[in-house]
Amino acid sequence: MFIVTESDAAAIRDAFHKEGELSAIIELRQRFPGIDHAKARACAQTIAGWQPPSAAPCPVVPLRPRDHQDVWGAGIRAGRRTSEGQTTGNLLSKPPQTS
């Protein structure tokens, strides 16, 4: 097992597309000397087929905006059970507004 950086992959791809498969194998074995010839051939072919990563990753878009104050603290009221088993208070809503 080994990790191929983008610069390694680019060099192997360039060697494969410009000079052929054998050059890509040689380039791979120079960068990763412990790999035998058969394994290097399979790895070079695989790496040559990789596409370079896109310029910028897609931004993460939240599904819905959150009001963290309501979820994590100030807006939460403690609900209590009465002796009849009913819940008083509203656990996850804002306290009533007083005018």
H or E, element range at 88? strand 87-88
Residues 94, 99: Cα–Cα separation, whole Å: 15
Which tens digits make up the pLDDT trace of 16-64? 999 999 999 999 999 999 999 999 999 999 999 888 777 676 777 767 7
**Arithmetic mean of pLDDT, 4-15:** 92
Check pLDDT > 90 for residue 85.
no
pTM above the 0.85 mark?
Answer: no
- Give the number of residues written for the chain: 99
**Arithmetic mean of pLDDT, 51-79:** 63
Domain boundaries, the chain: 6-49
Residues 24, 43: Cα–Cα separation, whole Å: 9
Residues 44, 35: Cα–Cα separation, whole Å: 11
Q: Which alpha helices (H) appear in 1-99, and where do they start and end?
A: 6-19, 21-31, 37-49, 68-72
* Tokens 């992959």 -> residue: 9
Predicted pLDDT of residue 60 = 75
